[in-house]
Amino acid sequence: MKLNNTPLFFFCLLSLITFSQTDFTDHQMKWTKGWTNFAPNTTEYPEHEEVLSNIINNDVYLSNDVTYLMSGNLYIINNATLTIEEGTIIRCDADNPTSLIVTKGSKLIASGAKGAPIVFTSNKPQKTRKPGDWGGIIIAGSGVINSPSVSKTIEGNFLPQHSLYAGTQTDEQTVILSFVRIEYAGKKINQSKELNGLSLYALGSNSIINNVMVSYSADDSFECYGGQTEMYNLISYKAKDDDFDFTLGYQGVLYNVMAIRHPYISDISGSYAIEIDGYDQSDGFSNTTSLSNIRIKNGTFVNLADKNNYQHTTSAISSKNLGRLTIIDSKISGFANVAKFDETYNTYADLQKHFSFENGIFNVHSNSLLTKNKLQTSIDKLLKYNMYTNQFRGVKDIFTDPLNEKNPKFTLKESESYTVMQ
């Protein structure tokens, strides 16, 4: 790891310590067991028995004794509720533009179980599925966004009468999503735009998102456009673009989140484990007190890089337009930098106000932090109270079994020596 030009000893005390996985609260990996799938291309799913309608305008219940095909965009409209039973499998047509759109005022209840998750996946046979086989899941809520417009239109080529989102209902509940897998989504719309695995538009505080795994998305895995939903137990696995993307004044707390990237999988524009925009620069904002503000606890952000391919990696975090991010009790490993900040962070005081990473560990191969603006104060002070590796280490040197194709483990190896910033 490289530090900025100001000598580290001017602003922190360094002490060499040895700690084990029992000293650093890991939570690996009890919450992932029983419902995840890290090798979905080898899984043989049953053929579909029923094709879903493209419009749901009355309450509908999907049973797990039927395998469904979603072909073409499916809209839940007219304040209807789609309820999906635990263990249900929905195959998604790779030959047609296919997404599930929960329109404003309607509702999705997809409550899986640990031993019986709900699965949205490609309808292609095993070993032939690819990122972007189908679109994704889009939830349009009535919550608040930080924008001059009270409401906006969801991204994508969708029916305009079913594309509005946002409002003033801070406590609305549009979705219950629990123990759900979303595989091979992110279909390309055009040369510059693809859909996300899970797009969350202006959800209120009573919407429920937990135990969701998005695998092999061709664009972002999770993207939040405003709203203020607390979420936990989220996994992004080998996304092409960002793992977790926040914009339009999203305010929320995330517990137990994991992003596993590969150094050879990235979008041409640059991809990050976390991308945060305080506001949409093209749209502006309604007030400065409601810029995006995210708090993450127990995060694992890993790029599966080693000393042969680490040069293909970028920052773990990209922070723009005065987005605010707090990360505690977390691991960042395999990236070039912990975070980079755009030109809107003019001073060290701006960075102190908008970024905090404490009680964590990081293993990067270039400068720990990057800024567009040249600052008088060394910004590495922002990383105090964290442990770091003195030299970059490959993923197998840091974690117990990270390359296991079916059950990877990201528990820190015992007896590793780190340096601590105080």
Tokens of 12: 């922190």
How many C-beta atoms lie closer than 10 Å to residue 353's C-beta? 12
Q: Position 383: which residue type? A: L
How far is it, in rounded angstroms, from Cα 335 to Cα 312? 9
DSSP 30: G
pLDDT tens, the chain, 422 aa long: 444 433 333 233 333 334 434 344 445 578 999 999 999 999 999 999 999 999 999 999 999 999 999 999 999 999 999 999 999 999 999 999 999 999 999 999 999 999 999 999 999 999 999 999 999 999 999 999 999 888 899 999 899 999 999 999 999 999 999 999 999 999 988 766 789 999 999 999 999 999 999 999 999 999 999 999 999 999 999 999 999 999 999 999 999 999 999 999 888 778 999 999 998 887 888 888 889 999 999 999 999 999 999 999 999 999 999 999 999 999 999 999 999 999 999 999 999 999 999 999 999 999 999 999 988 788 988 998 999 998 999 999 999 999 998 999 999 987 556 787 65
DSSP 398: H
Please report, to the nearest 10 degrees, the dihedral formed by the alpha carbons of residues 88, 85, 239, 189 taken in order: 90
Tokens of 330: 């977390």
b vs e for 20-54, b when ≥16 Cβ sit within 10 Å of the residue's Cβ? ebeebebbbbebbeebbbbebbeeebeebeeebee
Q: ∠30-32-394 over CA atoms, to 5°?
A: 90
Instruction: Specify the pTM.
Output: 0.93
Instruction: Enumerate residues 6+ apart whose C-beta is below 8 A from 404.
Output: 38
Structural contact between residues 83 and 112, judged by C-beta atoms closer than 8 angstroms? no
Tokens of 287: 């007030």
How far is it, in rounded angstroms, from Cα 87 to Cα 65? 9
DSSP 52: P
Instruction: Enumerate residues 6+ apart whose C-beta is below 8 A from 30.
Output: none
